[in-house]
Amino acid sequence: MTFTLDESRGSATDTVGGASHSTTTTDTVHRSGRGARIVLAVLALAMAVAAVTATVDARRSNHDHVASESALTAHGETYSVAVEPPLPGRRPAGPFDPGASVANYDASVAATVADSALVFSEAGGPPNRLWADLPAGYELRALSTSGTKAALVHYDVDAAGRVVGSDILIAERPPAWPVDPATVNIHHLDGLVEPEAFATDGRSLFVIDHQAGSEPGTYRVRPLDLETGQLEEMLGPDKQPLIEDMNGAGRRQVWGLGDGRLYTLYIRQTDHVHASGRPGTDGFVHILDLDEEWAFCLDLPPSFGKGDLATTALAVGSRTVAVLDLSAGEGGQLAYASTVDRAVTEVIDLPLSFRQTMKAMLVAAGEQPGRPPGWQPTVHLAMHGTSLAVGVGEALVWFDGATLEPLVDDLDQAYDERVELDGPLYGLTTLTGSGVLAWTIGGEGPEQLTPPRTTP
């Protein structure tokens, strides 16, 4: 569904691992007929939204925002490609469909592909007043911090169904509308390369490069220099080269709270060894600092990351990362880690009241009518101060972040005191201000929620 909300905000050649990356093509798109184009853009967006809504609803019914995945093949290996960027950390100020639109972190700018045009909406301005024409077949993946650049991708597939090339398109809004033209630059790269996020200064785009791994099935996060078109090697927090192969199934992403970082949860990693030489674990959180442009793999405890992505959730607070894994340990565990020290600080076994409440939520979500065969309820997590919000299906329950007991008067009846949502939960966002945002399918917009009482 489309959420229409009021503003309420508190190439050169580069060969790596045998992969040759080709040159960059620059297309300059000039525009004329401002009034007619604005009308056409608005009409096109309206028509596209109707079509996109049906597609998004069908896609969500299968995954419910567990990193909607499509299978691509490169080097004979099949990879899962997550196509949904993280939800913004604030309430959007204009039209925003989380299944089809991408927003920058503070949601001041959103972009949508409509009828082969990239349409931008800005807070405080008329909707859909800026756009760039696109070639057909490109998927929108990322928007820069300032909202002036968007990254899209198109994959070249051979007769055997293998990805042999990735065309990454960078559309940049003109600095002066309507005098200056919009520019569209296409970087043609060999193999499977996924756009992930822009560096804060907009000069680089971080990508997941499946070509660079030394072993089949591995990948590396690398910066793509948008001026030269060259893929470069990643740096670690110490600014030393981080030539590190990773692997893992699926991913769930959240923005940090104003720290300029993107946190990505990976599970079911196998035979991974860090650049430092220490062995990896089945689950880890990849920290990508978009301000200082470094990356770090925060290993989760050995009991984490062996289960399903639908029952493993990630949340980030001002100084804390929380990972909930219902498959960890004997009956599920929650791990806390420091965003400063980048290390796990505490692991808590889920108490009986937590497990009973989660079981009731999962059963109720699984019994909701209209779900196709194979649909799996998905757990979502967010933080507010010392409280945790856990949501599944159309229900959300608040828990004490220290004890993990439900914030209710009767622990045995916690599910009966749940928060009923407007629709099936699509995602939770930790707000930089007060509370959390619950994004639902079919609702009028994300609900802003706060815990029923303050935890000790």
- Residue 133: what pLDDT? 78
The angle at the Cα of 356, spanning 353 to 360, to the nearest 5 degrees, equals 140
Confidence category of residue 116, pLDDT binned at 50, 70, 90: confident
Residue 382, SS3 per DSSP: strand
Q: What would the mean pLDDT of 64-85 be, rounded to a whole number? A: 53
The tokens describing 229, both together, are 């078109």
Global pTM value: 0.82
Q: Give pLDDT tens digits for 370-394.
A: 776 767 889 999 999 899 999 999 9
pLDDT at 151 over 90: yes
CA 412: distance to chain centroid?
A: 35
Closest C-alpha to 233, from 408, 16, 3, 432: 16
- Residue 2: what pLDDT? 32
- Residue 166: what pLDDT? 96
pLDDT at 78 over 80: no
The tokens describing 75, both together, are 């080097």
Residue 174 burial by CB count (10 A; 0-12/13-18/19+): exposed, middle or buried?
Answer: middle
Closest C-alpha to 213, from 405, 388, 77, 50: 77
The tokens describing 444, both together, are 């009028």
The rounded mean pLDDT for the chain is 79
Residue 416, SS3 per DSSP: helix
